[in-house]
């Protein structure tokens, strides 16, 4: 069988598409989720048993839950995919401190802690890949999504800086920055709002989770190892 891949946020639309793509390529999966156990169970039922190593539940906006996840990582991890996330919509001046804390922990501290925990083994083996699914807003920012834009920007900086630090150890760190992707994260938008967004995108459609998954697979290929510290935009030439 192939290498072991830890997918953080595997029950989301993008995370599940990544898991499906990698399972079909022979990778062995360690799947993390927070709330949607049924979606994970349904996916498990479609898999060959040897493809799935473990399933771990944890709310990564909570420090203790992050530690709980780390304590359950009993299998070696060759690659890490960070696909979890939560949006927050609203005026910045109305944003509560608890929301700020939760968003920072989920998007910034959790990737820090998980990566820090797994890095020593990767460095010892002189191999590994880390991929973060960030967002277009992490680069250009979005009104009414100030906190989300901020933490996604922090993820981009994390990728660029860590890549410089650990590239000499044979480990690559990159990000994929999607624009408008057809996922449940956009369910708050009315049909006319979605149509207005799509009208601004030169390719004239939303992106698909499967397209993000395909790019993840490309980055995991050893022939892509010279790509280091990059934020790969997937936005249909939108912004």
Among all residues, which ones are annotated catalytic?
A: 148
DSSP E strand boundaries for 52-148: 52-57, 79-82, 128-133
Residues near 199 by beta carbon (within 8 Å), at least 6 away in sequence: none
Phi, psi of 185 (to 5 degrees): -65, -20
Burial (CB count <10 Å: 0-12, 13-18, 19+), residue 36: middle
Q: How far apart are the first and last CA of the chain?
A: 40
- Residue matched to tokens 């601004």: 200
Residues near 179 by beta carbon (within 8 Å), at least 6 away in sequence: 136, 201, 207, 233, 234, 235, 236, 238, 239
Describe the crossing of helices 63-71 and 110-125 by its angle, rounded to 10 degrees: 30
């Amino acid at each position: 069988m192939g290498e072991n891949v830890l997918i953080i946020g595997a029950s989301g639309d993008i995370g599940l598409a990544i898991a499906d793509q990698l399972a079909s390529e022979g990778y062995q999966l360690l799947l993390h989720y927070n709330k949607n156990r049924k979606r994970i169970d349904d996916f498990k039922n479609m898999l060959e048993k040897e493809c799935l190593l473990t399933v771990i539940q944890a709310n990564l906006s909570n420090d203790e839950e992050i530690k709980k996840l780390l304590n359950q990582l009993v299998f070696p991890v060759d690659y890490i995919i960070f696909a979890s996330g939560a949006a927050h919509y609203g005026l910045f001046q109305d944003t509560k401190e608890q929301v700020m804390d939760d968003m920072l922990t989920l998007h910034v501290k959790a990737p820090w802690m998980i990566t820090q925990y797994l890095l020593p083994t990767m460095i010892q083996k002189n191999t590994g890949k880390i991929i973060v699914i960030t967002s277009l807003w992490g680069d250009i920012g979005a009104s009414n999504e100030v906190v989300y834009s901020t933490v996604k920007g922090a993820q981009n900086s994390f990728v660029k800086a860590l890549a410089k630090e650990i590239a000499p150890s044979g480990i690559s760190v990159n990000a994929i920055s999607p624009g408008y992707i057809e996922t449940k994260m956009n369910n708050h938008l009315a049909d006319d709002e979605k149509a207005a967004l799509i009208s601004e995108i030169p390719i004239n459609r939303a992106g698909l989770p499967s397209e993000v998954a395909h790019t993840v697979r490309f980055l995991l290929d050893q022939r892509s190892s010279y790509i280091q510290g990059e934020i790969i935009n997937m936005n249909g030439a939108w912004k």
